[in-house]
Chains A and B, each alone.
Chain A
Amino acid sequence: MYYAINQDNQNLEAYCSFLNEIVNTGNIYYANLFKEIISQTQNLIHTHDYYKVSSERFGIVKFFAHFPDVIKEIDVNNIKSEDFQKLSSCFESKFCTAS
């Protein structure tokens, strides 16, 4: 489950668990949510227009935008398990650096 509810913008544990949820359980709702978030992040990286990001996803989109190289490579319509692994590694390395 997408736990660590009391997350703020920089809660790496929550974002890692979000990715794991999709990979491990195949939760369709979270998978669709992931697509939406990646799409908005790609747009933000391309346009730098913060005003166009939807407010309810702003925190997670802004965080994902810290990893432009990985995000740009993701094909939103054909998301692969390697995409999750690459993102997850980025989060974990940032998590390790932070702690």
Chain B
Amino acid sequence: MSPELIRLHLSQLKKAIIKSETNKYADNRKQEYHDNILTLFERIDSLDFSKCSISELIHYKYIIDFCFISIEFLDNSILTVIPHEIVYCLEKALSDWDDTNKYIIVISLSNDLNGFWFNSMLSLKEIYYDIFKADFSIFFKHRLIQITLPKYLSQDYLANVVLYHELGHFIDQRYGIIEKLSSAISLTNIEKIHYGEFFSDIFASQYIGEASNYYLHYIAHEAPDSESHPSTNSRIDLVEKFLNGKTDPILDHLKDATFKITGKELKDRRKIIKDDDFKAFIPTNIVSDEELHSIFEIGWRLWKNPLPEYSDKHIGEFDKYRIINSLMEKSISNYMVVNKWNKHVPH
């Protein structure tokens, strides 16, 4: 690392920042965050790196990387291919667990077909925000929850149930649930990792019920225990126990730790709605947040089972997939529109 390389990195960042200057965000919090990144860039750009040690230069490189990733996710968040309806559902789930309004979900698209993941860098690495405040006097009021999903599945509402699992990882790390549980009951490293996956599966199933397991079958097949994940069968089994109100030592630990740490319960939050509307080719009228999340389970149930209402009308598999996704999307977007409208229409 040298001052010249830092200067190169800064020039690269400047180019990305110039391109992002015309971004228009529907959410003011994103604009504030963006403005803070610009201020941070200007402060670093004005520094003299010629007298810095190698460690200091590495430190500044990390900060520049932080800015780059922030700009990447903010840029992506205004793309038309980002599924705003999915983000809305995740924000509703998030609000059950965090009412600080501090966290903003931003999505980036990946070329990896299995690329569903959550990264905690911009949301939970407080060390960065400590440094921005202490060393640059820049106070970031908000944090970005980075979620990545595959580009070719960005409007696939069946596949995107996985994002509830990724949100589960955020909630776990936000409260340090598994970290603290691990210290309290002395889990091994692998057990700790496995518990993290179990927690995220249970978290997701609170909202999307068995849809969590349907996609797990697809994405993880019948994988055995590994260093990064418990076996698929054990994950499915635990979710089934949770949804059926059965006990299990792992489930008990997770529920106990979650409640003691967050004050909130891991519980079935669904309100099951009928699938009659989808069978009749119309989006369903959602009236509550609990019903909102149930849309995913309906979509999956219809996809997995024969649908004579569709096959009798010469609707093949591809159109069945397209129609189910469209109806899921329209049901959610109608709920968003009606809620916004009702907030402002005079009564």
Contact = CB atoms under 8 A, between A and B. Distances in A.
Asked if A and B touch directly (CB within 8 angstroms), the answer is yes
Contact of B56 (A1, A30, A51, A57): A1
Interface string B230-266: 0000000000000000000000000001001100000
Interface in B10-31: none
A79 interface: no
A1 B183 contact: no
Contacts of B56: 1, 3
Q: How large is the interface on A (under 10, 10 to 19, 20 to 34, 35 or more residues)?
A: 10 to 19
B180 A58 contact: yes
A4 B125 CA distance: 13
Contacts of A53: 176, 180
B134 A29 contact: yes
Contact of B134 (A6, A30, A57): A30
B59 A62 contact: no
Contacts of B127: 2, 5, 7
Interface string A53-74: 1011110001000000000000
B282 interface: no
A46 to B, nearest CB: 15
A1 B133 contact: no
Q: How large is the interface on B (under 10, 10 to 19, 20 to 34, 35 or more residues)?
A: 20 to 34
A53 B63 CA distance: 27
Contacts of B134: 1-2, 27, 29-30
A55 B133 contact: no
B126 to A, nearest CB: 4
B345 to A, nearest CB: 41
A55 B125 CA distance: 11
B243 to A, nearest CB: 26
A50 interface: yes
B131 A58 contact: no
Interface of A: 1-7, 27, 29-30, 33, 50-51, 53, 55-58, 62
12 contacts: A1-B56, A2-B130, A2-B134, A3-B55, A5-B128, A51-B257, A53-B176, A53-B180, A55-B173, A58-B176, A58-B179, A62-B183
Given A55-B180, A58-B176, 6 more contacts: A4-B55, A7-B127, A29-B130, A51-B261, A56-B126, A58-B179
